[in-house]
């Protein structure tokens, strides 16, 4: 059953468009179906999500290393992985209006738009084809990778040899993937060009079930730590008949998106499928020698595979809120401070020269530490609303009294409470608040200003 999320997709799309999070790709030419451009705020949010992932997966762990493999790979990769044969969707076309559909998405045997008769399903490969070198011939065909994972499998031996890693350990990668999706729509949920954050975690056969459970738990907790409400996250186990050809077991982490529960991340136990396939196709050994037991074996792989774009959408949907505010509605994004595109906005109360000078000095002083914005247009109330709508956790207001007492106010986005602090304490105070210290814990010389 599809539960209804609290926020409409139109509201998210409109906010993203209005405030420069996401634009349609090549919009001046009418856009390109299921391709999107991240604007000035979107690129920051996306970078912050990737940074949070990299930090928790690579930087803070001693059993993981990173990789950045190329998008174009030797075409044999895709033969061995099964993508050339099996990475397909069953496509049907309406004989009347010629619209195309994924037959496994359809509830009836007729066209959902005009009711026309549909063709027999034909398998449609989702990989984008292109040519390497100057001659467009079959021998020079290469593919835009449909997942980042294969770049990790083919580098397994390189990483083992150069880092002398012992099992269990993982290789993590963030990068672009491309799929010529048949069913598109739902904004950035399903794109033809998107980014993935993938882990391939190599383990000794027999310990794979334990590690699978570990990663399911770990990944679920990661989303919750970023502030996504636990009730909007759900696990779904794949039934046997729905498992991909390489998977022994698979769970999706689903999020309650505006269109209903849908996949945010997939976690699969891939067994030894990939390494065995690539070893046999390349003729190179991808075995592992276990020093302890003195055995050679092919490791099993646990793969948590997350989408950056779907994470951006989930984070935005989860953070979106509307509150009654005098005669209007206050729209705000309750973004976790680590994800907020702009951490602090510097707002001089007026455009008087003396105030602007001080505000610009403070703005310049804060910028090396965080993404900070400066806004002196329109009333202070409107400026606060603008920052609330894009999830800026703190506003620093410089008023005429600041010129006298060298103090400024810090206003918190969610509570709208304010404290006043000496300018000399501003940077450390903001640092502490952005790390989660309650607003009313005051620095020396600070005071509660407005509750």
The footprint of ligand ATP (CB under 6 A) covers 147, 179, 181, 190-191, 194, 196, 263-266, 305-307, 309-310
Going edge to edge, which strands form the sheet with 193-203? 64-67, 169-178, 193-203, 300-307, 260-271, 249-257, 233-237
Cis ω on the peptide bond leading into residue 184 (within 30° of 0)? Answer: no
Using CB atoms, what's the residue nearest to ligand ATP?
A: 307
Of 165 and 310, the one with the shorter C-beta distance to ligand ATP is 310
Q: For residue 152, which of 129, 172, 133, 138 has the smallest C-alpha distance?
A: 172
Distance of closest approach, residue 254 Cβ to ligand ATP, in angstroms: 9
Of 265 and 388, the one with the shorter C-beta distance to ligand ATP is 265
Distance of closest approach, residue 311 Cβ to ligand ATP, in angstroms: 7
8 Å CB contact between 75 and 83: no
8 Å CB contact between 433 and 399: no
Of 273 and 394, the one with the shorter C-beta distance to ligand ATP is 273
Q: Residue 97 burial (CB < 10 Å; 0-12/13-18/19+)?
A: exposed
Distance of closest approach, residue 334 Cβ to ligand ATP, in angstroms: 22
CA distances from 24 to 8, 17, 190, 390 (A): 19, 9, 13, 19
Distance of closest approach, residue 243 Cβ to ligand ATP, in angstroms: 11
Of 194 and 222, the one with the shorter C-beta distance to ligand ATP is 194
Distance of closest approach, residue 146 Cβ to ligand ATP, in angstroms: 8
Q: How many CA atoms lie within 13 A of 101 on its CB side?
A: 24
Distance CA 386, CA 383 (A): 5
8 Å CB contact between 389 and 403: no
Distance of closest approach, residue 75 Cβ to ligand ATP, in angstroms: 20
Distance of closest approach, residue 361 Cβ to ligand ATP, in angstroms: 43
Of 87 and 384, the one with the shorter C-beta distance to ligand ATP is 87
Distance CA 94, CA 69 (A): 40
Q: For residue 6, which of 329, 327, 316, 335 has the smallest C-alpha distance?
A: 316
Of 195 and 208, the one with the shorter C-beta distance to ligand ATP is 195
Distance of closest approach, residue 310 Cβ to ligand ATP, in angstroms: 4
Of 103 and 418, the one with the shorter C-beta distance to ligand ATP is 103
Of 186 and 397, the one with the shorter C-beta distance to ligand ATP is 186
Distance CA 15, CA 22 (A): 9
Distance of closest approach, residue 34 Cβ to ligand ATP, in angstroms: 8
Q: Residue 280 burial (CB < 10 Å; 0-12/13-18/19+)?
A: exposed
Of 102 and 204, the one with the shorter C-beta distance to ligand ATP is 102
Give the helix ranges, DSSP H, for 28-107. 40-54, 76-81, 83-86
8 Å CB contact between 392 and 343: yes
8 Å CB contact between 92 and 120: yes
Of 199 and 398, the one with the shorter C-beta distance to ligand ATP is 199
Distance of closest approach, residue 150 Cβ to ligand ATP, in angstroms: 12
């Amino acid at each position: 059953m599809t539960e209804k999320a609290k926020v409409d997709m139109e509201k998210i799309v409109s906010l993203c468009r209005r405030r420069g999070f996401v634009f349609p790709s090549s919009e001046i030419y009418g856009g390109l179906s299921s391709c999107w451009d991240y604007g000035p705020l979107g690129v920051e949010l996306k970078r912050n999500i990737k940074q949070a992932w990299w930090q928790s997966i690579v930087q803070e762990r001693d059993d993981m290393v990173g990789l950045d493999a190329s998008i174009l790979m030797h075409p044999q990769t895709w033969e061995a992985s099964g993508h050339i044969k099996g990475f397909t969707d069953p496509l049907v076309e309406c004989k009347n209006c010629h619209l195309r559909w994924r037959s496994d998405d359809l509830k009836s045997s007729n066209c959902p738009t005009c009711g026309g008769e549909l063709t027999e399903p034909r398998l449609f490969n989702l990989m984008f084809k292109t040519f390497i070198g100057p001659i467009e011939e079959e021998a020079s065909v290469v593919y835009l990778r449909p997942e980042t994972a294969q770049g990790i499998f083919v580098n397994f031996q390189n990483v083992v040899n150069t880092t002398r890693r012992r099992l269990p350990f993982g290789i993590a990668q963030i990068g672009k993937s491309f799929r010529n999706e048949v069913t598109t729509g739902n904004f950035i949920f399903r794109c033809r060009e998107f980014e993935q954050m993938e882990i391939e975690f190599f383990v000794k056969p027999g310990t794979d079930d334990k590690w699978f459970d570990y990663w399911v738990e770990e990944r679920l907790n990661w989303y919750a730590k970023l502030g996504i409400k636990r009730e909007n996250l759900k696990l779904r186990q794949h039934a046997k008949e729905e498992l991909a050809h390489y998977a022994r077991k698979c769970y999706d982490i689903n999020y309650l998106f505006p269109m209903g529960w849908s996949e945010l991340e997939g976690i699969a136990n891939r067994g030894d499928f990939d390494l065995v396939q690539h070893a046999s196709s390349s003729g190179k050994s991808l075995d592992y020698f276990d020093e302890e037991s003195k055995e050679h074996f092919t490791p099993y792989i646990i793969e948590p595979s997350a989408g950056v774009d779907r994470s951006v959408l989930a984070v935005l949907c989860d953070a979106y809120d509307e509150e009654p505010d005098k005669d209007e509605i206050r729209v705000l994004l309750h973004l976790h401070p680590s994800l907020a595109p702009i951490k602090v906005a510097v707002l001089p109360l007026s455009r008087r020269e003396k105030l602007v000078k001080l505000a610009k000095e403070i703005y310049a002083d804060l910028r090396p530490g965080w993404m900070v914005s400066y806004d002196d247009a329109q009333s202070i109330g409107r400026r606060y609303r603008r920052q609330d709508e894009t999830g800026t956790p703190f506003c620093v207001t410089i008023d005429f009294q600041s010129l006298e007492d060298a103090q400024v106010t810090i206003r918190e986005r969610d509570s709208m409470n304010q404290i006043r602090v000496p300018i000399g304490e501003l940077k450390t105070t903001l640092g502490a608040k952005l790390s989660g210290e309650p607003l009313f814990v005051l620095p020396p010389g600070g005071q509660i200003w407005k509750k």
